[in-house]
Chains A and B, each alone.
Chain A
């Protein structure tokens, strides 16, 4: 470590005290990756501030010294969003985990970014409210991380995403200044910069306080499992449910391989079948019961082999435990796997599924499928064995092919995990150059020096101040039609 670095470290230490600075190489290993473990970078230091002022002081030094920084919540992200940047520091929010304010009359909660997602619901559930976004990692992931990634979850079909539930943010910009985006009331005058910030994957600054909306618990929740011979019949049932005008709280689908894995891991007592649907309806009892009859009928007419309705909260919890454990459960049936997060228009499901099957056969690799079927968010899990030469590369290639299928079907490369480090190369396949250049211009307004998580999201970083995308002349001009006049 050179002298300048020692000086900077000392200055950082005075901000956060000794407990808030990690710089010993053996301790830094914990922070070299997030939930996407195949990318690893050692940070120069990890800072654990415990106040907005400390975050500002840290970022000001980074700005002065041109040190890139990456914010980190619980490190559960699946796209490498919290992966450190070469020669950069990590700002961990582990110590900023206070719920600052709970306001039931206005259904608002104010939290620090390190608060765990499920703890928000835990805090407001005695009054029968909940915080709606529920990523599968909700018992450990942080609200700050959810904000960065615009996390979804199984219930976003009805309730929306993190961005739907974030009303305002206190943000430390990459020059260390503090701004307030949005607020406790709706439609604060000005641009919806809170809407831009949520889902920007840490590239626009660091949130230090978050104003959330909470939702009253529905009168009842009914969860149904329907077993089908294959995902095709299950998919047809989903289309019919939607076409009938229903908006279930969640519709999840698992294929045979995913069911096997979930069974092996948590014994969810799922029926063995080719395609399993999990349908959850919520709302007033009379409404839900009327609609459950319709859902039952739709499933039967699409060839359901078996239909079960969870009879108690415990049964419902078990049904969800199996679904939420599905990724981790792959470890039971395969040494290694890649999780993907592509989205397709729901109607493209049968076509894309059979293509995935064909590609999987060609590559000689198994693919397990777990979907948020209601909104077309696929989570294909490509299974492989790193010890077998060439399999990892083949799995990565297959994984990319699947995302290309999603793009070709008019979908997206990511529904909730984010682009991060993992999928930035795919961005130019989904967006044209002018689209990406426009996003980069917005970034330049927030972070002209590109210090905040600088290497993520975009395939080719563009320096601010560089001339944006080439102008393409209107065809009439090139064709010389303009000369006629």
Chain B
């Protein structure tokens, strides 16, 4: 059965299907399979446009026909967010992989949304540069996907998040508009900062087709260290001492779990002389805790958290707290996990962002996440569920967006009035 026949069977009008095929070519319109399902919802067609304009046109035609569109990059985080209320088309950026311009002497790069982070980093490294970001699964994750999910790791402490690294973007809107904003210079205040608007919008406002980033140099040298602590309280003291010091560390993260005592990792980048001096200062600050050279495996700590055996009994959440509330939060997690016989592990960054894994019965997971979310929200924090067992798919991934939700819905309505893009996946049913 070819794509045309299949999609007809699934209720997509054939004249529209022909339009898609005419636009992007027969081999780039496939019937969707079970592997293409998005957080439990099965789409009908997968379309892979070859250019940004083609993508905008596929989006326009879909919008006109009242179809729901799920944008997709590498597909590594397609389960994040709520289940889509509707899903017809997977709009894939798989063929938009070009690195348009690496202006290395200007420390900027312009890249199509479907380029993987790894390919981008390899290209930048040829000139000793990097996008100073450590997202999950860089070998598969794409520029567009990482932007849409606002994925950031430990490097955020020093270099900021994507919102601080993106300087320009082109987005395709459901009415077919291809709109650019920002530019290719680091400093630029002309017009609204739409690159920030689409960063973290989970593809609900437009489809990012191109992004421009500011870059940083690869470090001359680097060294990382581990500092163990007896409990969360002592960890908090060490983290606070480092944060309040004049060290110029690149990242600072702390591991907690139900079966080991806490350890913090700190990374320094710079000249040999600078690294030696900072190591000495770190030893002073951390005393009486000991300081040991750490292995580079600390880099992939977040991916390890995502390596679990049973998806049906695991939940993963991104939490955001005030940095000074770290010990209190970890103690709370421990209490609610123990009370519900859940295994738990957490990775907390000094920025106040953390990653929590809970394992156990779905009912207990739901209950624990609910209680924890209320606790964090009451202290100006948040909890976003990124993975939960299929049984728990109805559990709201986001929590509250506060009193700005009406305004967010107004923005959504302006850019996607027919609710075509990722309907129902974002906060507040957007």
Contacts and interface: CB of A to CB of B under 8 A. Distances in A.
Nearest to B103: A345
A476 interface: yes
Interface string A178-212: 11110111111111110110111000000000000
Interface stretch (A26-34, A61-69, A116-124, A411-419): A411-419
Nearest to A377: B187
Interface residues of A, number: 105
B-side interface size class: 35 or more
B187 A475 contact: no
Interface string B178-192: 111101111111111
Question: Chain B interface mostly helix, strand, loop or mixed?
Answer: mixed
B403 A180 contact: yes
Given A193-B411, A427-B190, A187 B200 contact: yes
Contacts of A469: 177
A444 interface: yes
Interface string A327-357: 0000000000000000111110000000000
Nearest to A182: B404
Contacts of A243: 105
A345 B414 contact: no
B384 A438 contact: no
Contacts, number: 297
A464 to B, nearest CB: 8
Contact of B105 (A181, A347, A427): A347
A476 B180 CA distance: 22
Given A180-B403, A471-B175, A164 B323 contact: no
Interface string B49-68: 00001101100100000000
A345 B106 contact: yes
A196 B380 contact: no
Interface string B228-255: 0000000000001001111110000000
B158 to A, nearest CB: 10
Chain B CB within 10 A, most for which of A345, A412, A468, A475: A412
Contacts of A474: 23, 53-54, 56-57
Interface of B: 18-19, 21-23, 53-54, 56-57, 60, 103, 105-108, 128, 150, 160-161, 163-164, 171, 173, 175-181, 183-194, 196-197, 199-201, 205, 216-220, 240, 243-248, 270-274, 276-278, 281, 318, 320-324, 351-353, 380-382, 384, 398-408, 410-411, 413-415, 426-428
**Smallest CB-CB A-B distances: 9 pairs:** A287-B274, A195-B196, A245-B217, A190-B401, A286-B277, A438-B179, A105-B324, A445-B410, A219-B246
Given A191-B205, A192-B201, A242-B107, 4 more contacts: A156-B187, A247-B216, A287-B270, A441-B414
Interface of A: 103-108, 128, 149-150, 152, 156, 160-161, 163-164, 173, 178-181, 183-193, 195-196, 198-200, 216-219, 239, 242-243, 245-247, 283-291, 343-347, 372, 375-377, 410-419, 423, 427, 430-432, 434-439, 441-446, 457, 468-469, 471-472, 474-477, 481-485
